[in-house]
Structure 1
């Protein structure tokens, strides 16, 4: 017997189910595919400052709130499972390779400073003191202390361990009886009729000796945008392309685009082994903001997180769990109502 069905076994669905179970609810999670969702490719940047964009003030506020909840989320998972999820609070570096790149980066930094987001601008020499492997060609950079990272694959493994046999395999083709939370990523469209579309992204994983980089690096390289996420074991995640496509092809051009930008920023990355190429599809909406809240009767939605599913997992889980359990509609949900595109 179950009090709540969650459709979707990605990081959002699992997080919602975990928080609901912590509130005493009996939960069943239908997981349509072990590793086929966007979280499997995600680098795990918890970067509300790096992801803040013009005209998305409500989304920026939600991302900042969720980032503040990640330490408690990690602590709770560790307490229940004893598993390490690769949480790293050391902040990130934003760097610019050319004069034009620096102008673009400074425009974004100024926007973030206007919203009281912490950005400490640095001279090229100061950037390279923090990360000696960075290219000597850099024109400037900034330290962003509030950006964090986790390993999404480890987070999902910990959530699955916490939920145990509440997670059942199998693809859902029609909505089960409510109450139900639809957190099915790009599959949300077929189940609800909501406008969630796939946006293709390629991510690379390189492997070498640990210690090449100490911080997440967000780079602007001759007009190209790239991020580099180092892991303690020597892996460096490089991402990501963004295409309005639904195929899974790994093209030589996309790999070249990412590697060229990455090695322009950190030349030594060219010596690492290319250990994995992964294509997955971000669940995106017309305004690239998530769909959060009650759709109708006992049907709730937690989907459409675009680039920010990992970052937004804790706040999404808390808000949806509170809504389902108590009926309380938090003001943070207002801007993300599932029916706003009707």
Structure 2
């Protein structure tokens, strides 16, 4: 039916399927509701500088490398499908609500500059000259000209069109199990009972990976659901554009962002909570609106469109799991690959993760160099250990969380 089965059709899975199709490899994508999970809620900030956090040095090279691939990736996709993917090269302003928040921005700027990320400290006056809608009460800003954005919903649509136009297939069903064969094709069984076989399988199902039987002997991934509330608002009809750039703010130590689209939509996000509650939090919605209004008072005049919550797949070190699956013996499992755990960075990291996985499948990935270093950082077995019996033991993080 296909050369590769991709389990999961979020932005990461769809981008992987698209890259495989570009290589002439036929794909079957299995997902009950493509792009309706975490990708549906994503704001689409391509922000290697703005997303910098303390003590995440291993993540910075991945973010920078994938951001550098975006222009070529989107250009190739749009040329193939004739659909705009919502990519905007407008920069990002990092804004502080008060002097304490400004101290945090200054500390982060030190980390950004240490990683050779282009950032520039700005006064309140200079920031408001670029974005007049900013409140005059902000304490300062940092300009990140290399941080761009994309609309994940439009990107997902373009990717689906591209994959289908290549002759590949979508199966709208969930996966019950994966049977790994030492020889011949692997078999994927869907919830409806259909068996689909292919020489290679990519597991890009996010948190859904835990529900797929047959993988536990080779994979022990300590994924956890990190829920986030995100809002969509709209400029009133005939109202002038409120913002040209993405604004990422710190308000009383808490992050908030406003991402303006060309059609007048402004995405406001996002909370981060591990309470296992899938519905939007009233407190989270209130906090986002209040913090956004404090930075950009004109938020009060926007039309409220949507409040949405989704769970993002978090890992102990915030690095994704990308690469070939290995058996308990340490030997690679032929034709079995994983790409999950991208946490807040799934849209940003999608081109890099997809290119690496497709290169592994095609067998043309260099053994050394930057790509090899990226895969080593994202090793899907880095949180597992092999005990004396040869079985893959649960990671220390996973055991201690029980």
> What's the TM-score once normalised by structure 2's chain length?
0.83
User: 1:338 aligns to what SS in structure 2?
Assistant: coil
Q: Aligned residue for 1:312?
A: 349
Q: Aligned residue for 2:203?
A: 182
Residue segments in structure 2 that go unaligned for 5+ positions in a row: 180-185, 187-198, 327-332, 385-402
Q: Is 2:75 the counterpart of 1:75?
A: yes
Higher mean C-alpha deviation, range 53-62 or range 189-198: 189-198
1:241-252 matches, cutoff 5 A: 241-252=271-282
Deviation at 1:327, TM superposition (A): 5.8
User: 2:325 aligns to what SS in structure 1?
Assistant: strand
Q: Aligned residue for 1:2?
A: 2
Residue segments in structure 1 that go unaligned for 5+ positions in a row: none
Q: Structure 2 CA distance, aligned partners of 1:315 and 1:250?
A: 31
Q: Structure 2 CA distance, aligned partners of 1:247 and 1:139?
A: 35
Q: Structure 1 CA distance, aligned partners of 2:257 and 2:142?
A: 14
Q: Structure 1 CA distance, aligned partners of 2:117 and 2:379?
A: 26
Decide which structure has greater helix share: 1
1:1-342 matches, cutoff 5 A: 1-164=1-164, 165-175=168-178, 177=186, 178-191=199-212, 192=215, 193-208=220-235, 209-296=239-326, 297=333, 298-326=335-363, 328=365, 330-331=371-372, 332-342=374-384
Deviation at 1:90, TM superposition (A): 1.7
User: 1:77 aligns to what SS in structure 2?
Assistant: helix
Is the Cα contact below 8 Å between 1:36 and 1:280 reproduced in 2? no
Output one character per residue of 1:56-88: Cα deviation in whole Å (capped at 9) or x when no partner.
Answer: 222110110000000011101111111111111
Q: Aligned residue for 2:195?
A: none
- CA, structure 1 residues 315+51, in 2 after alignment: closer, same or farther (shift >3 Å)? same
Deviation at 1:21, TM superposition (A): 1.4
Deviation at 1:175, TM superposition (A): 1.6
Q: Structure 1 CA distance, aligned partners of 2:57 and 2:307?
A: 33
Deviation at 1:22, TM superposition (A): 1.1
User: 2:128 aligns to what SS in structure 1?
Assistant: helix
Higher mean C-alpha deviation, range 29-38 or range 272-281: 29-38
User: 2:273 aligns to what SS in structure 1?
Assistant: coil
- Structure number with larger C-alpha Rg: 2
Q: Structure 1 CA distance, aligned partners of 2:48 and 2:76?
A: 22
Output one character per residue of 1:176-200: Cα deviation in whole Å (capped at 9) or x when no partner.
Answer: 5251000001112333442222110
Is the Cα contact below 8 Å between 1:210 and 1:232 reproduced in 2? no
Q: Structure 2 CA distance, aligned partners of 1:42 and 1:327?
A: 32
Deviation at 1:255, TM superposition (A): 0.7
Q: Structure 1 CA distance, aligned partners of 2:276 and 2:72?
A: 35
Deviation at 1:222, TM superposition (A): 2.2
User: 1:48 aligns to what SS in structure 2?
Assistant: coil
Q: Structure 1 CA distance, aligned partners of 2:163 and 2:286?
A: 40
Q: Structure 2 CA distance, aligned partners of 1:334 and 1:262?
A: 38
State the superposition RMSD in angstroms: 1.3
Deviation at 1:34, TM superposition (A): 3.2
